[in-house]
């Protein structure tokens, strides 16, 4: 037996698994919680599985609005002499990300990635003399695969 309140209390992954289990079509990229719950309640009501047909205000059940977070899907490439994991830190939060794997990170960590540089000494010849100059180069080799909002 189920109720509409029980569906509203479930996590997104739990709802998706129930939709799959009951063969209810949905688009995972444009998942709409309210539509999914309405479909489940409608199916349960038709099967006589609802404990009580209670209509709820979404705000009462869902609580305060959730913060939408931006993310970046990124792959850090292997570099000679570098460890297997890329350590990133920002305001007391730390991530240790494996190289050559797709990783989803909060978008604010991209500032850390972009500002990770190292100084490299470059030698060049000018007017028959050998000169040296320090050049800033990126410390991390990476590829951004996707960006989005959760």
Number of H helices, E strands in the chain: 5, 7
Task: Map out the domains of the chain as residue ranges.
Answer: 4-62, 70-149
98: CB partners within 8 A, 6+ apart: 76, 84, 85, 86
Instruction: State the pLDDT at residue 48.
Output: 67
Beta strands in 83-116 (DSSP E): 85-90, 93-98, 102-106
More confident: 140 or 57? 140
Reported pTM? 0.52
**Weakest-pLDDT range from 22-36, 65-79, 82-96:** 22-36
Distance CA 140, CA 115 (A): 10
Integer Cα distance of 6 and 119 in angstroms: 57
CA gap 67, 95 in Å, rounded = 21
Q: Is the pLDDT of residue 71 over 60?
A: yes
* pLDDT band at residue 88 under the 50/70/90 scheme: very high
At 68 the pLDDT is 83
Poorest-pLDDT segment among 4-8, 40-44, 117-121 = 4-8
CA distance 21 to 15: 10
Rounded (10°) angle between helices 12-21 and 33-47: 40
């Amino acid at each position: 037996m189920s109720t509409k309140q029980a569906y509203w209390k479930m996590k997104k992954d739990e709802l998706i698994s129930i939709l799959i289990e009951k063969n209810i079509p949905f688009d995972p990229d444009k998942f709409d919680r309210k539509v999914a719950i309405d479909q489940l309640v409608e199916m349960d009501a038709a099967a006589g599985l609802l404990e009580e047909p209670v209509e709820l205000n979404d705000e009462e059940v869902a609580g305060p609005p959730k913060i939408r977070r931006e993310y970046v899907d990124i792959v850090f490439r292997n570099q000679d002499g570098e460890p297997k994991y890329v350590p990133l830190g920002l305001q007391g939060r730390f991530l240790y990300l494996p190289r050559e794997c797709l990783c989803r990170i909060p978008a604010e960590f991209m500032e850390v990635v972009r500002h990770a540089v190292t100084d490299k000494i470059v030698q060049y010849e000018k007017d028959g003399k050998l000169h040296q100059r320090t050049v800033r180069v990126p410390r991390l080799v990476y590829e951004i695969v996707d960006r989005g909002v959760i």
